[in-house]
């Protein structure tokens, strides 16, 4: 029997949470886009209504550690651009509190489903790649294009530094040199500011043709990275992988990994493989 | 064939003609039309010659005496089933009024002379439960179904859709769904529903139906007004809300670049042409026993969005064909239109 269906991008579960208004704690944008996009794609596939995402979060632990407003991990600005595709906030709250939602393993047999967590990363989304790309470009009012002779260079510090996942300064300097020798323009996307970045990579000034992108919003950063002819970063970062995912497919090969091939092979989050290792 | 089905029905409808076609592949068919006075106008527009099984049809006239109609039935049945040894005869009827049910009783008695196994099965639409006439409607239904239990010994029913079918489960041991199978089979055999793509840069939305409150065209117009992308709305239909709708559409067009077209009445070919030019058909009815236009749209590979009070929602088995929203929910309808637009950009 056909009936109205409701899919909720719950994003991730938290102990302090009032859906859809507020949540304490949460992943970064790269990670929370997975449940959102899974819910969106399944809504398209099954003709379901998409509920307002539970995206209004703050992460005080990271903020207190880094004293950087980006560490609050609040992506309301970005999700406001995406909300045209989902039901209004209050209506979603009404549906959520009056019904029992089950996880996505019940999708074939139940009409109230929530999506949370990373599951199979880009493997779950790959068949919808084109539609997801169009959705983000349309929502952010960007044109699909490629900026030739440009490298989007992603340097993640913040919690990557604490977790010992960041790339060494020597490797970053070497990689910048690698692209400059080939006369490419380098745009650095990072979660840090210029002085911290210069301190980290131990340079008094950024070389000519290298600039740090002043971030408008994390989602716009992803889109801008996706428009560069080359992407250089760590395959460990879902942020970089999203930029690769949203690119035109034929540019998939233009990806340069800052991780060694051996380390890269331990990670398997996307069917689109990296094939250059600096 | 050793089985006969007698359709005892009021005026012909496209839906029931489809069902007759389906049954004819493994049964002999006889059709008796017994319209009410109110159906006569509708009946007069249909040429019996254009219908299948022309020689197996009998039309009764409502304004003659009961006796005269009974004689007609008797002659027709005697002529058609004389010397044929049917193992089973099923009488499918769509009547709820005691007057015409009396004719079904008589028909059953006539058939008993030539066959031992006679079954009478009502073939009904879902019952509307969401309006002010619910109580008299349920009383009428209760009386009718009780009569059928006693005088016709019916224990099985065919309904067009699952909508509100729980009511029938109170009276019948078996409730069988009987949507328009011919189209349904077509959908699943020939159609590659994955390829539903927007044919134009703007989303073209179609509404076909009477312009009356039950069909709820206003909710679609309001949803259309709030869309943030380029879209076009076409409305086909007549009804007492026509003026109100025209005024509302005019206001919307005066204050925006929206395009709305309204047609009073179109013939079948024009409707088919119109369907093929549109991307999505919306049927937002507060109640629709089946909503045949939905099966036609699906057949024309047009995406459908229907309210959960439309019987033909049973045909929408996945989101590739269409989607269902909660009756009268503007935000849900708008959300489904937005999602469908996403498929196109």
ipTM of the complex: 0.91
CB contact under 8 A, A88 and B331: yes
- B125 and B82 in a single domain? The answer is yes
Give the per-residue pLDDT at A241.
96
Rounded distance between C-alpha atoms, residue B90 and residue B115, angstroms: 11
Rounded distance between C-alpha atoms, residue A191 and residue A211, angstroms: 14
Compare B190 and A193 and report the one with higher pLDDT.
A193
- Judging contacts by C-beta atoms under 8 Å, the chain A residues touching residue B162 are 1
Whole-number percent of chain A with pLDDT over 70: 93
- B7 and B68 in a single domain? The answer is yes
Give B48-106 pLDDT, tens digit per residue: 666 788 889 998 888 889 999 999 999 999 888 877 889 999 999 999 999 999 999 99
The yes-or-no verdict on residue A191 having pLDDT over 60 is: yes
Give the per-residue pLDDT at B343.
86
CA dihedral A236, A242, A247, A250 (to 10 degrees): 40
- A252 and A152 in a single domain? The answer is yes
Rounded distance between C-alpha atoms, residue A176 and residue A173, angstroms: 5
* Confidence at B42, pLDDT banded by 50, 70, 90: low
- Judging contacts by C-beta atoms under 8 Å, the chain B residues touching residue A88 are 331
The mean per-residue pLDDT over the stretch B314-331 comes to 92
Q: Nearest to residue B218, comparing CAs of B226, B313, B270, B302?
A: B226
- B196 and B339 in a single domain? The answer is yes
Give the per-residue pLDDT at B12.
80
Q: Is residue B74 part of a domain?
A: yes
Give the per-residue pLDDT at B190.
39
- B112 and B250 in a single domain? The answer is no
Rounded distance between C-alpha atoms, residue B45 and residue B42, angstroms: 6
- A159 and A273 in a single domain? The answer is yes
- Judging contacts by C-beta atoms under 8 Å, the chain A residues touching residue B343 are 44, 131
Please report, for the domain that includes residue A201, its CATH number: 3.40.50.11350
Q: Is residue B184 part of a domain?
A: no
- B101 and B232 in a single domain? The answer is no
Mean pLDDT across chain B: 87
Give the per-residue pLDDT at B179.
67
Question: Would you tell me which residues 186-245 of chain A have a C-beta closer than 8 angstroms to some C-beta of chain B?
Answer: none
For B269, the enclosing helix (H) or strand (E) is helix B268-276
Give the full edge-to-edge strand order of the sheet including A147-155. Answer: A210-212, A185-190, A147-155, A228-233, A255-257, A276-277
Give A194-241 pLDDT, tens digit per residue: 988 898 888 999 999 999 998 889 999 999 999 999 999 999 899 999
Please report, for the domain that includes residue B7, its CATH number: 3.40.50
Tokens of B176: 């069988």
Q: How many CB atoms lie within 10 A of CB B248?
A: 17
Give the per-residue pLDDT at A165.
66
* Confidence at B194, pLDDT banded by 50, 70, 90: very low
Q: Which residue of A has its CA nearest to B312?
A: A2
Domain boundary among A81, A104, A119: A119
3-state SS, residue B283 = strand
For A187, the enclosing helix (H) or strand (E) is strand A185-190
Contact of A124 with A202, CB cutoff 8 Å: no
Q: Is residue A136 part of a domain?
A: no
Kindly report the CA angle at A146 between A142 and A149, in degrees rounded to 5? 135
CA atoms within 13 A on the CB side of B125: 17
- Judging contacts by C-beta atoms under 8 Å, the chain B residues touching residue A3 are 308, 313, 324
Q: Is residue A124 part of a domain?
A: no
Compare A139 and B149 and report the one with higher pLDDT.
A139
- A159 and A67 in a single domain? The answer is no
Mean pLDDT across chain A: 90
Q: Which residue of A has its CA nearest to B193?
A: A45
Tokens of A199: 């301190």
Q: Is residue B279 part of a domain?
A: yes
Domain boundary among A71, A104, A119: A119
Whole-number percent of chain B with pLDDT over 70: 90
Domain boundary among B121, B153, B177: B177
Tokens 């079904």 belong to: B104
Rounded distance between C-alpha atoms, residue B95 and residue B125, angstroms: 11
Q: Compute the nearest-CA separation of A147 from chain B (Å).
A: 22
Contact of A192 with A169, CB cutoff 8 Å: no
Rounded distance between C-alpha atoms, residue A139 and residue A217, angstroms: 14
CB within 8 A of A5, min separation 6: which ones? A43, A46, A47, A48, A49, A111, A112, A113, B324
DSSP3 helix / strand / coil % (chain B, rounded to 5): 45, 20, 35
Positions of E strands within B160-243:
174-177, 203-208, 231-236
In DSSP notation, A90-156 reads: HHHHHHHHHS--EEGGGTTT-SEEEEES-TTGGGTTGGGHHHHHHHHHHHTT-----EEEEEEEEE-
The boundaries of the domain holding residue B266 are 190-344
CB contact under 8 A, A47 and B338: no
Q: Which residue of A has its CA nearest to B329?
A: A91
Q: Is residue A137 part of a domain?
A: no
- Judging contacts by C-beta atoms under 8 Å, the chain A residues touching residue B315 are 2
Is A49 within 8 Å of chain B by CB? yes
Is A88 within 8 Å of chain B by CB? yes
CB contact under 8 A, B342 and A135: yes
The yes-or-no verdict on residue B198 having pLDDT over 90 is: no
CB contact under 8 A, A47 and B316: yes
Structural domains of chain B, count = 2
Give A36-89 pLDDT, tens digit per residue: 999 999 999 999 999 999 888 777 776 666 667 666 678 889 999 999 999 999
Q: Is residue A85 part of a domain?
A: yes
- A181 and A271 in a single domain? The answer is yes
User: Which residues in B127-148 are b (16+ Cβ under 10 Å) and which e?
Assistant: bbeeeeeeeeeeeebeebbebb
- B219 and B324 in a single domain? The answer is yes
Domain boundary among B177, B201, B223: B177
Q: How many CB pairs under 8 A join A and B?
A: 67
In DSSP notation, A199-251 reads: HHHT-SSPPTTEEE---S-HHHHHHHHHTEEEEEE-TT-HHHHHHHHTS-GGG
- Judging contacts by C-beta atoms under 8 Å, the chain B residues touching residue A132 are none
Structural domains of chain A, count = 2
Facing B343 at nearest CB: one of A44, A87, A88: A44
Rounded distance between C-alpha atoms, residue B300 and residue B297, angstroms: 5
Please report, for the domain that includes residue B236, its CATH number: 3.40.50.2000
- Judging contacts by C-beta atoms under 8 Å, the chain B residues touching residue A1 are 162, 314
- B335 and B230 in a single domain? The answer is yes
- Judging contacts by C-beta atoms under 8 Å, the chain B residues touching residue A43 are 319, 339
Q: Compute the nearest-CA separation of B7 from chain A (Å).
A: 27
- B319 and B197 in a single domain? The answer is yes
Q: Are strands B118-124 and B88-93 parallel, antiparallel or unpaired?
A: parallel
- B146 and B202 in a single domain? The answer is no
- A54 and A173 in a single domain? The answer is no
* Confidence at B20, pLDDT banded by 50, 70, 90: confident
Whole-number percent of chain A with pLDDT over 90: 67
- A21 and A112 in a single domain? The answer is yes
Rounded distance between C-alpha atoms, residue A6 and residue B281, angstroms: 21
Give the per-residue pLDDT at B188.
38
Kindly report the CA angle at B343 between B339 and B345, in degrees rounded to 5? 105
**Chain B interface, best mutation among A41, A49, A129, by max B CB count within 10 A:** A49
- Judging contacts by C-beta atoms under 8 Å, the chain A residues touching residue B331 are 87-88, 91
- B194 and B332 in a single domain? The answer is yes
Give the per-residue pLDDT at B184.
45
Give B255-305 pLDDT, tens digit per residue: 887 899 999 888 878 888 999 999 999 999 999 988 889 988 988 889 999
Give the full edge-to-edge strand order of the sheet including A6-11. Answer: A49-50, A6-11, A112-116, A102-103
Positions of E strands within B182-238:
203-208, 231-236
- B24 and B152 in a single domain? The answer is yes
The boundaries of the domain holding residue A221 are 147-277
Tokens of A250: 């034929």
- A115 and A151 in a single domain? The answer is no
- B234 and B107 in a single domain? The answer is no
CB contact under 8 A, A48 and B318: no
Is A90 within 8 Å of chain B by CB? no
């Amino acid at each position: 029997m056909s009936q109205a269906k409701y899919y909720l991008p719950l994003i991730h579960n938290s102990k302090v949470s009032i859906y859809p208004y507020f949540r304490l704690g949460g992943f970064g944008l790269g990670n929370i886009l997975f449940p959102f996009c899974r819910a969106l794609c399944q809504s398209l596939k099954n003709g379901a209504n998409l509920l307002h995402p539970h995206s209004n979060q703050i992460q005080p632990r990271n903020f207190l550690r880094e004293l950087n407003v980006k560490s609050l991990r609040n992506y309301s600005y970005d999700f406001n651009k995406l909300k045209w595709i989902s039901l209004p906030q209050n209506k979603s709250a009404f549906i959520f509190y009056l019904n029992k939602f089950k996880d996505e393993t019940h999708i074939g047999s139940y009409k109230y489903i929530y999506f949370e967590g990373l599951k199979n990363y880009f493997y779950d989304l790959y068949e919808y790649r084109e539609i997801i790309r169009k959705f983000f470009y349309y929502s952010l009012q960007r044109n699909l294009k490629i900026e030739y002779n440009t490298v989007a260079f992603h340097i993640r510090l913040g919690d990557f530094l604490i977790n010992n996942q960041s790339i060494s300064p020597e490797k970053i300097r070497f990689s910048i040199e690698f692209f400059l020798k080939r006369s490419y323009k380098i745009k650095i996307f990072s979660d840090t500011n210029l002085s911290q970045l210069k301190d980290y990579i131990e340079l008094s000034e950024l070389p000519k043709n290298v600039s740090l992108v002043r971030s408008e919003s994390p989602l716009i950063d992803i889109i801008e990275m996706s428009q560069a002819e080359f992407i250089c970063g760590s395959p460990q970062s879902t942020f970089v992988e999203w930029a690769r995912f949203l690119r035109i497919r034929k540019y998939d090969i233009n990806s340069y990994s800052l991780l060694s091939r051996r380390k890269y092979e331990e990670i398997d989050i996307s069917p689109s493989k990296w094939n250059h290792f600096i | 064939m050793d089985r006969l089905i007698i359709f005892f029905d009021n005026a012909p409808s496209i839906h029931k003609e489809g069902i007759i076609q389906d049954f004819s592949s493994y049964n002999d068919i006889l059709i008796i039309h017994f319209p009410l006075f109110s159906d006569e106008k509708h009946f007069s527009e249909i040429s019996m010659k254009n219908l299948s099984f022309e020689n197996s049809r009998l039309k009764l006239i409502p304004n003659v005496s009961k006796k005269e109609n009974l004689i007609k039935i008797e002659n027709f049945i005697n002529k058609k089933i004389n010397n044929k040894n049917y193992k089973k005869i099923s009488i499918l009827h769509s009547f709820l009024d005691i007057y015409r049910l009396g004719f079904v009783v008589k028909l059953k008695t006539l058939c008993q002379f030539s066959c031992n196994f006679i079954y009478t099965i009502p073939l009904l639409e879902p019952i509307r439960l969401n309006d002010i006439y619910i109580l008299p409607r349920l009383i009428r239904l209760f009386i009718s179904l009780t009569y059928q239990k006693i005088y016709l010994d019916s224990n099985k029913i065919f309904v067009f859709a699952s909508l509100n079918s729980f009511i029938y489960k109170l009276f019948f041991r078996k409730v069988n769904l009987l949507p328009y199978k011919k189209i349904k089979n077509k959908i699943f055999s020939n159609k590659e529903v994955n390829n539903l793509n927007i044919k134009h840069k703007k989303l073209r939305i179609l509404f076909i139906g009477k312009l009356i409150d039950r069909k709820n065209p206003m909710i679609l117009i309001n949803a259309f007004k709030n869309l943030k992308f380029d879209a076009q709305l076409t409305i086909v239909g007549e009804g007492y809300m026509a003026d109100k709708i025209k005024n509302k559409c005019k206001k919307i067009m005066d204050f925006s670049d929206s395009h709305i077209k309204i047609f009073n009445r179109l013939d079948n070919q024009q409707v088919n042409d119109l369907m093929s030019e549109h991307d999505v058909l919306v049927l937002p009815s507060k109640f629709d026993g089946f909503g045949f236009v939905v099966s036609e749209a699906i057949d024309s590979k047009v995406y459908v969005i229907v309210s959960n009070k439309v019987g033909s929602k049973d045909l929408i088995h996945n989101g590739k064909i269409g989607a269902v929203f909660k009756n009268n929910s503007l935000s849900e309808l708008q959300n489904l239109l937005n999602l469908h637009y996403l498929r196109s950009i």
